[in-house]
């Protein structure tokens, strides 16, 4: 079972124009065991806007997975 545990350090750094193309990059930052036969995974997340130098969003996304 996977659970969205939430976001840390969320920054909306640039508005996304209507009709703009976006993409997200996820880089594994941390993988740690937790109680209850599970793991907590932290991803560095960046949402980019096509043709722009500044990203739309920068955050840490935390998920939990239980076996």
Percent of the chain with pLDDT over 70: 100
Per-residue model confidence (pLDDT) at position 66: 94
Question: Which residue is listed with tokens 């969320």?
Answer: 10
32-44 pLDDT, tens per residue? 999 888 999 999 9
Name 6's Cβ contacts closer than 8 Å, sequence gap at least 6: 62
15-33 pLDDT, tens per residue? 999 999 999 999 999 999 9
Per-residue model confidence (pLDDT) at position 1: 92
For every residue of 37-51, DSSP letters joined together read: TEEEEEEEEEEEETT
57 band by pLDDT with thresholds 50, 70 and 90:
very high
Ordered by where they begin, the domains of the chain are 2-66 (3.10.129.10)
Identify how many contiguous H helices and E strands the chain contains and give both numbers.
Answer: 0, 4
């Amino acid at each position: 079972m996977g659970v969205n545990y939430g976001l840390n350090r969320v920054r909306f750094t640039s508005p996304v124009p209507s009709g703009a193309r976006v993409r997200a990059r996820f880089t594994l930052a941390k993988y740690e065991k937790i109680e209850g036969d599970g793991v907590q995974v932290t991803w560095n997340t960046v949402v980019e806007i096509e043709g722009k130098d500044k990203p739309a969003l920068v955050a840490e996304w935390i998920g939990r997975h239980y076996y």
